[in-house]
Amino acid sequence: MTVWDDLVGQERVSEQLAAAARDADALVTAATSDAPPPEASKMTHAWLFTGPPGAGHIQAARAFAAALQCVSPDRALGGVPGCGFCDGCHTALIGTHADVTTVAAVGTQILAEDMRDTVRKSFTSPATGRWQVILVEDAERLNEKSANAVLKAVEEPAPRTVWLLCAPSIEDVLPTIRSRCRHLNLSTPSVEAVADMLVRREGVEPGVAAAAARATQGHVDRARRLATDPAARERRAAVLKLPLRVDDVGGCLKAAQELVDAAAEDAKALAEELDAKETEELKAALGAAQGGRLPRGTAGVMKDLEDKQKRRRTRTQRDSLDLALTDLTAFYRDVLALQLGSRVAMANTDAEDALERIARSSSPEATLRRIEAIGACRDALDRNVAPLLAVEAMTMALRAG
Ligand SMILES: [Zn+2]
């Protein structure tokens, strides 16, 4: 199983990346021996991976990072780097390679201080690997300051440094940064390709795999989760019942409260799993005495950790709500398909009764207005409107009539 096998339905992108990885490998070999460098190299110092949510643009970047560090002996025999098994590939994939640095937003933004050490590292040579790889998972969350720091680093890269930036779309990244990147756009994988992956890789029963792939419409991670995690299936079923519950104001307010509570619970569960452990580890590192008394002058570091944990909680809650909004949008898209007499590619074939009821009792115009209301809720959350307020406005707009 090579690193390229992780990319579902992305043959064209895989081929391009494999070719670049091969040239990258030849460049390093040429620099460290008498071998000639490749002609017209397909390798470059900065890449931008984009794609709709779940298409796998971050996985593609990670596979490429692994291939750049591949040390499999097969490479010398003309094999494609990215064997998936050698030490370079393996450590890059599990996140322990010394020369692969991954940056992901803790909260809703990547701050300049989150980026400082990484930018500094980008100006150095790789420690043990073949390339110094910096992978930014959500470049759309760079703020003005951190984006400027990245821009400077991308403008004058060290000879063996590669920046891999990921974002939903090319418009999400500053024009000055993206003009210096080679752009690869992943398309949504087909429902068949996702179902096939679930059967082959996860051992999911074909019927369940097909339903999960259809319900998530080409979102690979969500399909995997839905096919393998009963709690995820329950959550989705609850969200899909919402359209039938928003008959009156009371129902709308109650449904909104439940959605927000469920998201807050997700955030709390993750916080419980991580916060206490992190805090203990930091205290130990700072040399806290028995009874938890911290040495003088370390309060600032503890405060930084608390801030980080708070940002993470907000972000988790937001992501969880976002997932519910995605399911709801898919539901009303199916309603619209029914109203317009088109049943092709419906996502929620398992909620057919609810779909038919809503389709019969409303017009296509009303459905479009409802889809817009969900989009407006997402925009409001992006603008940091209080979640309950934004979701209540949405459920009220979903009401019949
Ligand atoms: Zn390898």
CA of 30 to the centre of ligand 1 (A): 19
Distance 331 CA to ligand 1 centre (A): 42
Q: In this structure, what token pair is assigned to residue 389?
A: 């307020």
Q: Give the amino acid at 101.
A: T
- The answer to whether the CB of 82 falls within 8 A of the CB of 2 is yes
CA of 72 to the centre of ligand 1 (A): 5
Span between the terminal Cα atoms of the chain, in Å: 54
Distance 396 CA to ligand 1 centre (A): 54
Q: What is the pLDDT of residue 290?
A: 62
Distance in Å, CA 5 to ligand 1 centroid: 13
| 3-state secondary structure (DSSP) of residue 105 | coil
User: pLDDT 10s per residue in the chain (401 long)?
Assistant: 889 988 998 989 999 999 999 999 989 888 888 888 777 788 999 999 999 878 889 999 999 999 999 999 887 677 889 999 999 999 999 899 999 999 998 888 899 998 999 999 999 999 988 999 999 999 999 999 999 999 999 999 899 999 999 999 999 999 999 999 999 999 999 999 999 999 998 999 999 999 999 998 888 888 998 999 888 888 888 899 999 999 899 999 999 999 999 888 888 888 888 888 888 888 888 887 666 677 777 888 888 888 888 888 888 888 889 889 999 999 999 999 999 998 777 888 888 899 999 999 999 999 999 999 999 999 999 888 999 999 999 999 999 65
Alpha-helical (H) ranges within 156-203 are 175-178, 191-202
If 0-12 CB within 10 Å is exposed, 13-18 middle and 19+ buried, where does residue 129 land?
A: buried
- The CA 85 to ligand 1 mean position distance, Å, reads 5
For residue 324, the surrounding DSSP H or E stretch is: helix 299-339
Q: How far is the CA of 316 from the centre of ligand 1 (A)?
A: 34
Dihedrals φ, ψ of 231, to 5°?
Answer: -65, -40
- Rounded to the nearest whole angstrom, what is the distance from the C-alpha of residue 180 to the centroid of ligand 1? 28
- Centre of ligand 1 to C-alpha 261, Å, is 44
Q: Look at residue 313 in the predicted model and tell me its pLDDT.
A: 85
Distance of CA 91 from the midpoint of ligand 1 (Å): 10
Ligand 1 center to 87 CA (angstroms): 7
Separation of CA 82 and ligand 1 centre (Å): 5
143 CA distance to ligand 1 middle (Å): 35
Own/partner contacts of 140-144, CB < 8 Å, gap of 24 or more, are 140/167, 140/168, 140/172, 140/173, 141/105, 141/108, 141/109, 141/110, 142/109, 142/110, 142/115, 142/173, 142/174, 143/109, 143/110, 143/111, 143/112
CA of 80 to the centre of ligand 1 (A): 9
- Bridge partners (DSSP) of residue 49 are 166, 184
28 Cα to the center of ligand 1, angstroms: 15
